[in-house]
Structure 1
Amino acid sequence: MNEQIWKHRRPLAALQRALASGTLRLGFIGGSITDARGRNNWPEPVIAWFAEHYPQVRLFVENAAIGATGSELAVFRAEHDLIQRKCDLVFVDYSVNDGDEPSEKRMRTREGLLRKLLKDGTRDVVVVHTFRQPFYRDMIEGNMPASIADFETLAEYYGVGSVWMSLYALEEVKKGRMRWEEWLPDGLHPTERGSLSYGQSVIAFLEKELQTDLEQAGQEDAYVLPEPLNASHWERAYQLSWSDVKTEGPWVIRRWPHLEWIDQALETAAVGARLSFSFVGRGLSLGFDFGKNSSEIRYRLDGGEWVTSVRERPDWCGNDGWFRSYLVADDMDPGTHHFEMEVVHGDTPDCRGTNCRIGLIGIIA
C-alpha cells in the first residue's frame, strides 16, 4: 500500500456527527474532473457509496465544481455555494487547474479557500489530487509535482486529510488493472473507468477514517483555526454588490439563465460602454461568462495607466459558458481604490464578438 496516496491528519469529526444525526451534506468544489454535469465523474461512486452504506441517512449533495476554473474563483464562491448550504464534508480539487499559476498566487488563493471552509469548525475538508500530463515525469520518477506539493504543505499545516487519487490510478496502470486509455485518453479527463478508480481511492480513505473513535482520539474539542501561513491569503475576499457599480451606456443586470453558477450578470455588448466603482481592499478579481464572442476590456486603477486585457481563447472554448476569472491586481496598498473599465473589441481573429458579461466583482481584502 502506497502511503503517499492517503494522508490521515485529523479525524473527520463533522462527518461522523452528521452520519449520527441522520442528515449528511456533501460538498465538492474543483474543475472539470469533479464537475457534476457529466454525471460520470469521481464524486458519483463516492456519493453512491454513502447512499449504499448509510441508507438511514438523508443525503444532500452540493457539487459546486466548474470546468476550467481554479481556486481564485472558488474563494469568492465558497460562501454561497458551500458554506451557506451547511456542508458537513467538502472535497477540494484544484491541483490540476491551479497548475499553471505561480506558486505564490495559488498558495494565497488556496489558503484563503481552506480558511473560509474551516473557519467555524462545523465542517471537514479533504483535498484530492487529480492528474494532468505535465505531472507525469515527476510521478513516474517517484516525485511530487509542485502544484500538489504546495497543496500538501497547506493540508499538513491545517490538519486536512488528502487523497492523491491520480497516484492510486497510476498504481493501477502499473499493476495492469487498468489501461492508460481507460484512465486518461486525453491526458487529463478520466473515462468512467478512470473516475471509478479515483472514487475508489476516496472510498478507501473514508472507510479508514470512519473506523476512528473520536472520543478515544481526543477529537471532540472545537477546531481552532491556526494563524495563517501566508499573510497575503485571501480568506477575507468578498463580492462587491451591483449597487456599488456606476455604469455609462446600455448595461443591464440580468438573472443569468446560461451558466448555473452565476445568479445575476451585468451585461452589455456595446463597444465603449463603461463602468466604475470604488472598493476597500488590496486587490480585485473579475469573473466573466466568457467565450469566443466575448469582448476584451480596457481598464485602469486609481487614475493610472490604461491596460487592455488580452485573453486566450482555446479551441475547446465555446462562444460563451466559461466562468473565467481575471485578476486585475492583488498587491496594492490596503485602502480605498477606484476602478474604471471600458468595453473594447479584442481586435484579434479569435475574438468574434463584444459581449461583456460580468458574473462577479471580487474584492481581495
Structure 2
Amino acid sequence: MIVRRRELLLGASIAAGATLLPSSLLALAAPNAEMVARSVVSPGNTTRLKRVFAKAARGEPVTLGFIGGSITQGSLASEPSRNYASQIAAWWGQRFPNASLSVVNAGLAGTGSLLGAFRVGADLLSKDPDLVIVEFSVNDASADADAYEGLLRQILDHRTAPAALLLFMMWEKGGNMQSMQAPIGRHYDLPMISFRDALWPEMEAGRLAWRDVIVDVVHPNDLGHRYAASFCTNFFEKVLRQQAATRGAFTLDQLPAPLGSSLYAHVGLMPATDFTPIDRDGWELTRSQIWGPIWAITQSTARFELDCKACGIALIVSGRASSLLERSMLTIDGVAVRPMEAPNFLDRDTIVLATELPNSHHSLRLETADFPSSAFGSSGLRSLGLFDDPTAD
C-alpha cells in the first residue's frame, strides 16, 4: 500500500480524465457546522495570524505560501482555480480587496516533509511569505518527525515571522500522519485543521461517500478541495471576529526548544545546475520532463564526483533511490556509505547519507556498474540536500 499510495501521489500531478464531481446527493455544497467544528484540531496561538490580518486590513501587500504534496499542487482539481490553495487565495482577495495579494504554491507531487525541509528555503521562504499552510499528512511516514519539525522551525524562524497553519488531509480508511504531526504542532502552539477529522465520521456513519469528495484513494475532487479550503477559511473568519473584539499590539513569542530535533532546521538545497563535478564519465546535465534539470546517467558503467561544503549530505534522485543505489558504490571522503542497509531506509527520492560530518568540504563519489539502458538519461541526481552547522563561523 505504501508503494501504491506514493505512485498515486506522484502520478496525480499529470493525471487527467478522472471523475471530479460528487456521486451522490448526500454531499453538501459546503461543510455543515458539525464538520467545521470537528475540523479544528487546535486553534493554537493566533497572534501571528492576527498580525497578518492586520497587515492586510491596512491595505499592505500580503504573500500567502503553501507547501505540500500533490494535493497542495492541485492534482485532480478540474482546473487550477478549484484547488484548495486557489480557493483560499480567492477568499483572501474578497476579504481584503485593498491588499495586494501574492500566492506562492510550493506543492510538489510525491514529496513529503523530508524533501520539503531541504527545499522550503528556495521554493517558498525566499518569497518572504506572511502566512504558510503546510500539508504533508498523506505523504509522510512516522520516521519523518524530525524533518517535519525542522520544516516548521524554518518557517517560523524566517525573517518575516510568518504565521503557519497545519492542514491534515487523509488517505483511504481515514488514515494520515496526524498522530505524528499534531504533537509537533501543539509544541509550537500552531493552528491545526483536519480534513480527516471533519469528514471521516460522516463517512463511517454513511452520511457521506468516499467518492463524493475523493477521486482515488487520496486526491480530492473539486468538492473535496472546496471543503479543505472552507475548513481553513471558516477558521480564519473566527479569528477575525476575535481580533475585532480584542485589538492591540502583537507580541511574538520566541520559538521553544525543539520537541525532538533541530537537525532539519538548518538545511538547504544544491540544485543540479549548481553542481561542478570534479570527475565524471557517463553522466550528463540534461532536463527531465518531470523534474527539470538533472545530472543523469548515460552509460552502463559511470562515475561521478563532486565537492560540497556541509556537515551532512542527502541525495535527491529522479525516481526511487534504490534503482540508483543498488547499482552504485557510494563514498564520502573515500569512506563507503550504504544507506540501503540502514534499518530506517525508505525507498523514495530523498535519502540522507550522513548528518554528523565535520563542517567542511567533502567529496561525494558514485561509481555505477551494470546500469540498465532503459534508464539512461532519466535516472540520476536532481539535487543535493546539505546540512549546515549554525554554530560555525
Q: What's 1:25 paired with?
A: 63
Q: Distance in 2 between matches of 1:289 and 1:20?
A: 44
Q: What's 1:84 paired with?
A: 126
- The one-letter code matched in structure 1 to 2:117 is V
Deviation at 1:283, TM superposition (A): 3.0
Q: After alignment, is 84-93 or 205-214 more displaced?
A: 205-214
Matched, 1:248 2:283: no
Q: What's 2:298 paired with?
A: 269
Deviation at 1:177, TM superposition (A): 5.9
Matched, 1:132 2:171: yes
Pick closer, same or farther for the CA change 1:279–1:180 going to 2, 3 Å. same
Q: Distance in 2 between matches of 1:279 and 1:20?
A: 45
Matched, 1:301 2:323: no
- The one-letter code matched in structure 2 to 1:92 is V
Give yes or no for contact 2:301–2:368 (8 Å, CA) kept in 1: yes
Structure 2 unmatched ranges of 5 or more: 1-33, 389-393
Q: What's 2:105 paired with?
A: 63
Q: Distance in 2 between matches of 1:174 and 1:18?
A: 42
Q: What's 2:257 paired with?
A: 227
Give yes or no for contact 2:138–2:169 (8 Å, CA) kept in 1: yes
Q: What's 2:375 paired with?
A: 353
Give yes or no for contact 1:33–1:189 (8 Å, CA) kept in 2: yes
Q: Distance in 2 between matches of 1:333 and 1:151?
A: 28
Q: After alignment, is 69-78 or 268-277 more displaced?
A: 268-277
Give yes or no for contact 1:295–1:354 (8 Å, CA) kept in 2: no
Deviation at 1:289, TM superposition (A): 3.2
Pick closer, same or farther for the CA change 1:178–1:188 going to 2, 3 Å. same
SS at 2:124's partner residue? helix
Give yes or no for contact 1:169–1:183 (8 Å, CA) kept in 2: no
Q: Distance in 1 between matches of 2:83 and 2:205?
A: 23
Alignment of 1:41-52 (within 5 A): 41-52=83-94
Listed one character per residue, the Cα deviations across residues 93-116 of structure 1 (whole Å, up to 9, x for unaligned) are 111100x342xxx11111111111
Pick closer, same or farther for the CA change 1:270–1:122 going to 2, 3 Å. same
Pick closer, same or farther for the CA change 1:200–1:270 going to 2, 3 Å. same
The size of the alignment, in residue pairs, is: 335
Pick closer, same or farther for the CA change 1:243–1:32 going to 2, 3 Å. closer
Structure 1 unmatched ranges of 5 or more: 137-144, 314-323
Deviation at 1:43, TM superposition (A): 1.6
Deviation at 1:81, TM superposition (A): 1.6
Give yes or no for contact 1:107–1:233 (8 Å, CA) kept in 2: no
Q: Distance in 1 between matches of 2:172 and 2:104?
A: 29
Q: After alignment, is 106-115 or 296-305 more displaced?
A: 296-305
Q: Distance in 1 between matches of 2:368 and 2:55?
A: 48
Q: What's 1:329 paired with?
A: 353
Give yes or no for contact 1:168–1:197 (8 Å, CA) kept in 2: no
Report which of the two has the higher share of helix: 2
Give yes or no for contact 2:114–2:350 (8 Å, CA) kept in 1: no
Pick closer, same or farther for the CA change 1:299–1:217 going to 2, 3 Å. farther
Give the % identical residues. Answer: 22
Q: Distance in 2 between matches of 1:267 and 1:176?
A: 50
Q: Distance in 1 between matches of 2:105 and 2:207?
A: 29
SS at 2:54's partner residue? helix
Give yes or no for contact 1:14–1:123 (8 Å, CA) kept in 2: no
Deviation at 1:214, TM superposition (A): 8.1
TM-score by length of 2: 0.74
Listed one character per residue, the Cα deviations across residues 116-146 of structure 1 (whole Å, up to 9, x for unaligned) are 111035211100000012544xxxxxxxx6x
TM-score by length of 1: 0.79
Q: Distance in 1 between matches of 2:370 and 2:244?
A: 58
Q: What's 1:341 paired with?
A: 366
Listed one character per residue, the Cα deviations across residues 125-184 of structure 1 (whole Å, up to 9, x for unaligned) are 100000012544xxxxxxxx6x21221111111121110112212244467664321122
Q: After alignment, is 112-121 or 163-172 more displaced?
A: 163-172
Give yes or no for contact 2:57–2:96 (8 Å, CA) kept in 1: no
Deviation at 1:344, TM superposition (A): 4.3
Matched, 1:284 2:313: yes
- The one-letter code matched in structure 2 to 1:164 is S
Give yes or no for contact 1:272–1:344 (8 Å, CA) kept in 2: yes
Superposed structure 1 runs of 4+ greater than 6 Å apart: 308-313
SS at 1:151's partner residue? helix
Pick closer, same or farther for the CA change 1:291–1:159 going to 2, 3 Å. closer
Q: What's 1:139 paired with?
A: none
Listed one character per residue, the Cα deviations across residues 290-336 of structure 1 (whole Å, up to 9, x for unaligned) are 379x75543123433464869999xxxxxxxxxx6331424445544
Q: Distance in 2 between matches of 1:330 and 1:160?
A: 31
SS at 1:213's partner residue? helix
- The one-letter code matched in structure 2 to 1:275 is F
Q: What's 2:217 paired with?
A: 187
- The one-letter code matched in structure 1 to 2:251 is D
Q: Distance in 1 between matches of 2:301 and 2:268?
A: 28
SS at 1:96's partner residue? coil
Listed one character per residue, the Cα deviations across residues 187-238 of structure 1 (whole Å, up to 9, x for unaligned) are 2111111221111111111111222328947661234222222235301112
